[in-house]
Amino acid sequence: MKFATELIHGGNPIDPEHGSLSHPVYHTSTFAQRSFDHFGRYDYARSGNPTREALEEAVARLEKGATGLAFASGMAAIASTFLLFRPGDHLVVCEDVYGGTFRALSTLFTGWGLKVSFVDATDLPEIAAAITPETRALYLETPSNPLIKISDLPGCVALARQRGLLTIVDNTFMTPYLQRPLELGCDIVLHSGTKFLNGHSDVICGFAVTATQELGQRLRFIQNAFGAVLGPQDCWLVLRGLKTLKVRLEEGQASARKIVAWLKTQDKVQKIYYPGLPEHPGYEIHQRQASGPGAVLSFELDSYETTKRLLEGVQLAAFAVSLGGVESILSYPAKMSHAAMPPAEREARGIKDTLVRLSVGLEDPEDLIADLERFLK
Ligand SMILES: *Cc1c(COP(=O)(O)O)cnc(C)c1O
CATH number at residue 200: 3.40.640.10
Task: Judge if 362 and 236 occupy the same domain.
Answer: no
Kindly state the helix (H) or strand (E) to which residue 143 belongs, with its residue range: none
Task: Judge if 287 and 146 occupy the same domain.
Answer: no
Percent of the chain with pLDDT over 90: 88
83 Cα: distance to centroid of ligand 1 (angstroms):
18
Task: Judge if 174 and 235 occupy the same domain.
Answer: yes
Domain ends where: 190, 213, 242?
Answer: 242
pLDDT of 302: 97
Q: Over range 221-232, report the average pLDDT.
A: 98
Task: Judge if 230 and 250 occupy the same domain.
Answer: no
Task: Judge if 205 and 220 occupy the same domain.
Answer: yes
pLDDT of 8: 92
Q: Is 170 a catalytic residue?
A: yes
114 Cα: distance to centroid of ligand 1 (angstroms):
21
pLDDT of 225: 98
Cβ–Cβ under 8 Å, residues 63 and 180: yes
- Ligand 1: residue of 71, 149, 192 to mutate (most ligand atoms within 8 A of CB) is 192
pLDDT of 338: 83
Helix runs in 206-263, H state only:
213-226, 232-242, 245-263
Q: Over range 333-352, report the average pLDDT.
A: 85
Q: Is 46 a catalytic residue?
A: yes
- Ligand 1 atom showing the smallest separation from residue 78 Cα: 10
Residue 350, Cβ density class (10 Å: 0-12 exposed, 13-18 middle, ≥19 buried): middle
Task: Judge if 31 and 141 occupy the same domain.
Answer: yes
Task: Judge if 154 and 173 occupy the same domain.
Answer: yes
Task: Judge if 213 and 251 occupy the same domain.
Answer: no
SS3 assignment, position 301: strand
Domain ends where: 242, 264, 282?
Answer: 242
Handedness of CA 195, 199, 205, 208 (dihedral sign): negative
Task: Judge if 222 and 326 occupy the same domain.
Answer: no
Handedness of CA 213, 122, 85, 231 (dihedral sign): negative
Using one digit for the tens of pLDDT, what is the confidence trace for 96-132?
A: 899 899 999 999 999 999 999 999 999 999 999 999 9
Using one digit for the tens of pLDDT, what is the confidence trace for 272-321?
A: 999 999 999 999 999 999 999 999 999 999 999 999 999 999 999 898 99
Confidence of residue 10 (pLDDT cuts 50, 70, 90): confident
Using one digit for the tens of pLDDT, what is the confidence trace for 136-175?
A: 999 999 999 999 999 999 999 999 999 999 999 999 999 9
Ligand 1 pocket, Cβ-based, cut-off 6 angstroms:
73-75, 98, 100, 141, 145, 170, 172, 192, 194-195, 204, 206
Of 152, 170, 187, 234, catalytic: 170
Count of domains forming the chain: 2
Task: Judge if 27 and 108 occupy the same domain.
Answer: yes
192 Cα: distance to centroid of ligand 1 (angstroms):
4
pLDDT of 348: 85
Higher pLDDT, 12 or 181: 181
Confidence of residue 11 (pLDDT cuts 50, 70, 90): low
Is 0.95 surpassed by the pTM of this model?
yes
Domain ends where: 198, 218, 242?
Answer: 242
Average pLDDT, rounded, for the chain? 95
Using one digit for the tens of pLDDT, what is the confidence trace for 123-144?
A: 999 999 999 999 999 999 999 9
**Which residue segment(s) compose the domain that 218 sits in?**
3-242
Cα 281 from Cα 97, distance rounded (Å): 19
Confidence of residue 38 (pLDDT cuts 50, 70, 90): confident
User: Is pLDDT at 256 greater than 70 in this prediction?
Assistant: yes
Task: Judge if 291 and 342 occupy the same domain.
Answer: yes
pLDDT of 377: 84
Confidence of residue 12 (pLDDT cuts 50, 70, 90): low
40 Cα: distance to centroid of ligand 1 (angstroms):
35
Of 195, 220, 243, 246, catalytic: 195
**Strands 90-94 and 67-71, bridge-based pairing:** unpaired
pLDDT of 16: 76
Q: Which of 63, 83, 59, 50 is closest to 193 using CA atoms?
A: 59
Q: Over range 224-234, report the average pLDDT.
A: 98
CATH number, domain with residue 358: 3.90.1150.10
Task: Judge if 97 and 44 occupy the same domain.
Answer: yes
Q: Over range 330-358, report the average pLDDT.
A: 89
Cβ–Cβ under 8 Å, residues 88 and 116: no
